[in-house]
Amino acid sequence: MKTSGSKSPREWVAGHVRDIPRSGIRDFFDIVSTMKDIISLGIGEPDFDTPWHVRESTVFSLERGATHYTSNLGLLELRKAVARYVNRFFKASYDPETEILVTVGVSEALDLALRALINPGDEVMYHEPCYVSYRADIIFAHGTPVVVETRAEDDFRLTREMLEKKVTPKTKLLLLNFPNNPTGATLPRKDVEEIAEFAKKHDLLVITDEIYAELTYDGEHVSIASIPGMKERTIFLHGFSKAWAMTGFRLGYACAPAELTEAMMKVHQYTMLCAPTMSQKAAIEALTNPEFDVTQMREEYHKRRNFLDRSFREMGLPCSKPRGAFYAFPNIGGMGLTSKEFALKLLDEEKVAAVPGNAFGDCGEGFLRCAYATSMDNIKEAMARMERFVKRLRK
Amino acid sequence: MDELLKILKQNALESPENIAKMLNLKVGEVKARIAEYEKKGVIRGYQAILNEDQLDLGRVTAVIEVKITPEREGGFNKISSRIARFSEVQSIYLMSGAYDLLLFVAGKDLREVASFVSEKLATIEGVISTSTHFMLKTYKHHGILMETEHEDERLKVSP
Ligand SMILES: Cc1ncc(COP(=O)(O)O)c(C=O)c1O
């Protein structure tokens, strides 16, 4: 029985959690999941199955009894493999003994980094449109999120000028994500170097979420961790979900200078203990021949990217070139509907699901995120339906 | 391999219009390149991949290992192309190892294949020995699994 003065369930919830709005993705998911026979361009994970040799070796590791805790940092064999891979692919060198922490996805790695580094009230700059978790994660860590808006006119690149406008004496951290979810934007070397200069000038830490790095279709991927003088102030996050199609394994890692790794490890140790052992075994296998698996999938995404890019142009929807990840972010602002109205109408009339752009930040309003992590046949059909839909709207 | 060929190998029915979109080329260019590959003989034909087990054709396929003596002129090629011309022979490969040629031979039944082996194949000059194995079931053919893959189990929308 409720006595006078006792709290309502809503009041029990911590204020900073209560105040975070429900994710726009979830609202949309609830609607889509009631519908049958839709083609979904709304899925932010690979359609490919995890490479067979990885699955096979996971089963083998279970048979051999790899079902216990590992060290807090993760299996040393995996950390060594990660160090070799990061050195080769990202040109950044980390000591597997002290500078690499294996985590439950980039999701956990990001949470650890924010919690380990932020004091209440520290400002954290991040760019929108962006992955839905960033803002909330910063708030959970009692930081103050500061948005930097990227724009379609600049192909959603992030530039030093944009950052200079938002930096204050309270700014402690800059959070980067390129190739970007949801825009598909990448950063050319020049921008990365200028952002690095910016970080040094203002003595900022950088967290860089490079989970889509391997899925870069035009030009090279440049990690800010590889820029001279940046390793000291960078927390590099990566994982196996995207390029290796291992989302359900829940495995990622953070690479950072020893003292920062130690701080993250402290949080990890008391909240997670260690990442799942069988997934760590799987990751070791994934890293034994990474180029083979990843190249095949990248080539397939690349063709789909081209197909979408051309299709949007043909139907007259402006879309800045998606150069990485598996998302295109066309501008549907000229159609007289909001993102949400457009997405709902498209779903209703043509049974194609794509996520309204404002789910990724206010400045995503007027855009639609179309993920091409689905078969070419689905993409062809979805584009035919969208073209028909757009034509009807224009009448 | 040329991306264009990879696409056709995956799906020979892909239209030049779609291929052009995937490779960011002009449709005319795609058509011209396909024609060129056909002319040069790189593309030898287009076939459907069937799950014959489902069709109950009452046919058998045998895999036959053949040892031969190479001829003074032409080595293995002459005798191999003689064997290749039999309509019963579906595929033939020159192999390294314990035998020289590997044949895939189709026939109405065991008897028909057996008589092909004893009357036609074994009697060719230069064939030293044969070893015939009958195929029981196809699980994967030309990179395509014959069992229907499970449905997409992913969430319909995810971040
Ligand atoms: C930019 C970005 N970072 C992180 C994640 C989460 O990755 P993980 O599966 O490694 O937790 C996602 C997943 O969609 C993402 O898009």
- In chain A, how many domains are there? 2
Task: Please give the C-alpha separations between residue B19 and each of A375, A384, B23, B49, in angstroms, as whole numbers.
Answer: 15, 15, 6, 20
How far apart are alpha carbons A163 and A204 in whole angstroms?
Answer: 12
Q: Does A369 touch chain B (CB under 8 A)?
A: no
In a domain, A201, yes or no: yes
CATH code of the domain containing A31? 3.90.1150.10
**Cβ of A322 under 8 Å from any chain B Cβ?**
no
Is ligand 1 within 6 A of the CB of residue A241? yes
Nearest alpha carbon to residue A127 among A209, A194, A20, A196: A209
Q: What is the average per-residue pLDDT within B14-37?
A: 97
Residue-wise DSSP of A200-263: HHTT-EEEEE-TTTT-B-SS----GGGSTT-GGGEEEEEESTTTTT-GGG--EEEE--HHHHHH
Residue that the structure tokens 């998302």 belong to: A327
Amino acid B120 reads K
Q: Which residues contact B65 (CB under 8 A, 6 or more apart)?
A: B98, B99, B101, B102, B103, B130, B131, B133
Q: What is the pLDDT of residues A140-168, one digit of tens each?
A: 999 999 999 999 999 999 999 999 999 99
Is residue A395 in a domain? Answer: no
Q: Are residues A174 and A321 in the same domain?
A: no
pLDDT classification of A3: cutoffs 50, 70, 90? low
Q: Is A324 in the pocket of ligand 1 (CB under 6 A)?
A: no
Q: Does A283 fall in a domain?
A: yes
Q: Are residues A250 and A319 in the same domain?
A: no
Which residue, chain included where needed, has tokens 């003596």? Answer: B69
Q: Using one digit for the tens of pLDDT, what is the confidence trace for B40-76?
A: 999 999 999 999 889 988 899 999 999 999 887 778 9
Residue of B151, B105, B155, B109 whose CA lies nearest to B130: B105
Distance CA A364, CA A23 (A): 14
The verdict on a CB contact (< 8 Å) between B159 and A310 is no
pLDDT category of residue A6 using cuts at 50, 70 and 90: confident
**Do residue A223 and residue A90 come from a single domain?**
yes
| Cβ contact A239:A252 at 8 Å | yes
Phi, psi of A327 (to 5 degrees): -130, 140
**Looking at the domain B3-40, which fold is it?**
Arc Repressor Mutant, subunit A (1.10.10)
Looking at the DSSP bridge assignments, the partners of residue A327 are A371
Examine the fold and report which residue of A259, A288, A317 is the final residue of a domain before the chain moves on: A288
CATH of the domain at A220: 3.40.640.10
- How close does chain B come to A306, measured CA to CA in Å? 5
Q: How far is the CA of A339 from the centre of ligand 1 (A)?
A: 23
User: Which residues does chain B have within 8 Å of residue A29's beta carbon, measured at their own beta carbons?
Assistant: 155-158
Residue B41 Cβ < 6 Å to ligand 1: no
A279 and A322 part of one domain = no
CATH topology of domain B52-137: Alpha-Beta Plaits (3.30.70)
pLDDT band at B150 (very low <50, low <70, confident <90, very high): confident
pLDDT digits (tens, 9 = 90+) for A369-395: 999 999 999 999 999 999 999 999 998
pLDDT tens-digit map of B93-145:
999 999 999 999 999 999 999 999 999 999 999 999 999 999 999 999 988 89
Distance CA A137, CA A17 (A): 10
In a domain, A4, yes or no: no
Give the separation between CA A105 and CA A209, rounded to whole angstroms: 11
| Domain closes at, from A222, A256, A288 | A288
Distance CA A322, CA A309 (A): 8
* Residue B153 banded pLDDT, cuts 50, 70, 90: confident
Query: A237 CA distance to ligand 1 centroid (A)?
Result: 10
| Confidence (pTM) | 0.92
Residue A270 lies inside a defined structural domain of this protein: yes
- Give the three-state DSSP class for B60: strand
Does A41 fall in a domain?
A: yes
Interface membership of B157 toward A (CB under 8 Å) = yes
Name the residue ranges covered by the structural domains of chain B.
3-40, 52-137
Q: Of A228, A254, A288, which marks where a domain is finished?
A: A288
A240 contacts: CB under 8 Å, gap ≥ 6: A246, A249, A251, A252, A282, A283, A286
Q: Do residues A83 and A102 lie in contact, with contact meaning Cβ atoms separated by under 8 Å?
A: no
Contact B135, B62 (CB under 8 A): yes
Its domain, for residue A361, covers 9-49+292-390
Q: Is residue B158 less than 8 Å (CB to CB) from chain A?
A: yes
